[in-house]
Amino acid sequence: SFSDSVKFSNRVAAGTGIEGSASNQLEGPYGIFVDVNLDLYVADCYNDRVQLFQSGESNGITVAGSTSRNPTIKLRLPRGIILDADKYLFILDSFNSRIIGSGLNGFRCLAGCYGRGSQSNQLSSPLSFSFDSYGNIFVTDQYNDRIQKFLLIKDSFGLSFNQPKFCSTATWNLTGITFANQSIVGLFPRDIFVSKNNTIYVANQENNTIVMWEEESVNATKIISGNFTIPMSLFVTSNGDIYIDDGQKNGRVQKWIAETNNFVTVMNVKSSCFGLFVDINDTLYCSMSKHHQVVKRSLNDPLMTSTRVAAGTGIEGSASNQLNSPHGIFVDVNLDLYVADCQNNRVQLFQSGESNGITVAGILTYHVTISLDCPTGITLDAEKYLFIVDQGNNRIVGSGVNGFRCLVGCYGRGSQSSELNNPFSFSFDHSGNMFVTDQSNHRIQKFQYVEESC
């Protein structure tokens, strides 16, 4: 303490002085941060974690890193940490050459998200960072011998889709309401998207159109036509732009620009995209079922040839690095990719930068979760619980603190209001209601969230 007149009054704040990974040990600690409660945060570099030592405690709690109580984000040699005004954690993840930050939706990459390098959007073994009063980030970019400044974008990141927060006892009315029938959505409707403002988008394959219901309208308010054929999937960004699969005949993904009502090609593909997704870094993903692979391309890259492999070898198989007819995909704010691996009857998680997947649903998981039969659609809620279209079993299942359970379509295949027949995808509205493309019944079913169940 600066108030102590004795110069040699140093005391141990954290660590035993012997390297180790126990809760009271550290190995190569770097950056530290002490908040107003006198809680100490330590970038425990060689343990690949961030430890929180609450005031007066000698045992730390892992708040970031793969060994935390609730897995947060994978770190490699964290060396800097800062808390913002709301006590969200920002970490310099040195070996991964990036800055990551936490928030309501968990951790996500903020700067240096394109791998190690010397380009203006890359870092190479950064050592420390700091914010200015405007929220801009200054980083010591060690091996590039420079200081990089990353500007805060005032109207930045906001999810375009709904991720409600549900309690463990959440239920939905098992009797569905037909929101749209064949006369509106055509034969075998495949993909659906519900935006944050509750605008509903459905791909009509029969008429090669996108049908829209704006802001909870009961009747379709807009039909978008273009030079696309048999659209298998779509994705809508926060500004209302629509990404549309046009792979089967024309070998591309198109973007409909809401502001101009024009179409542009944004990705070249070898076949239909059974799932499309745009992550928080404006990277577009396409799930190519017939090629057993998920590919991606940064929309900020001017080169149309910059498509890379996100998951799968291109050869069907059930190994951890393989896929067999992948369908729906979901990318969280950590840039972790979830794939509905249909013909392997599982959901695979490919953590950011990893080519080997982890089975998080299906009988081949480390701990048996639930038996699936050709899952085709997936989404995560606000707490990262998984919801799956289990197509072969004609139902929607969801996970929670008590594991997986059937949510709707729990009475077998059929055409009754409580039944589904070959469902393909689904989406939540902002109230937690569920909209399902009931493919072989040629309709969209709405299952209402029962608020009283929580």
User: What is the separation of C-alpha 114 from the centre of its chain, rounded to a whole number of angstroms?
Assistant: 17
CATH code, 270: 2.120.10.30
Same domain, yes or no, for 301 and 408? yes
Same domain, yes or no, for 394 and 264? yes
Same domain, yes or no, for 122 and 207? no
Same domain, yes or no, for 128 and 179? no
Domain-embedded: residue 382: yes
Span 165-205, pLDDT tens digits: 888 889 999 999 999 999 999 999 999 999 998 999 999 99
What is the side-by-side strand order in the sheet with 234-236?
A: 234-236, 242-246, 252-257, 262-268
Same domain, yes or no, for 142 and 234? no
pLDDT of 366 reads 55
Amino acid at 277: F
pLDDT of 218 reads 81
Same domain, yes or no, for 133 and 193? no
Run of H or E residues at 248: helix 247-250
| pTM score, whole prediction | 0.70
Structure tokens that stand for 277 in this block: 């997704």
Instruction: Show the low-confidence residues of the chain (pLDDT under 70).
Output: 1-9, 68-71, 153-158, 364-368
Concatenate the DSSP letters of all residues of 136-200 into one string.
Answer: -EEEEEGGGTEEEEEPPPTT----SB------TT-EE-SS-EEEE-HHHH-SS---EEEBTT--E
Q: Count each helix (H run) and each strand (E run) in the chain, helices first.
A: 2, 37
pLDDT of 156 reads 46
| Domains of the chain: total | 2
* DSSP assignment letter at 249: H
Structure tokens that stand for 175 in this block: 């009797």
Domain-embedded: residue 329: yes
Span 124-136, pLDDT tens digits: 999 999 999 888 8
For 77, the domain range is 29-150
pLDDT of 155 reads 42
CA 334 – CA 227 distance, rounded (Å): 35
Same domain, yes or no, for 296 and 424? yes
pLDDT of 6 reads 60
pLDDT of 105 reads 75
CA 22 – CA 15 distance, rounded (Å): 9
Same domain, yes or no, for 34 and 102? yes
Same domain, yes or no, for 232 and 360? yes
Same domain, yes or no, for 349 and 255? yes
Same domain, yes or no, for 175 and 266? yes
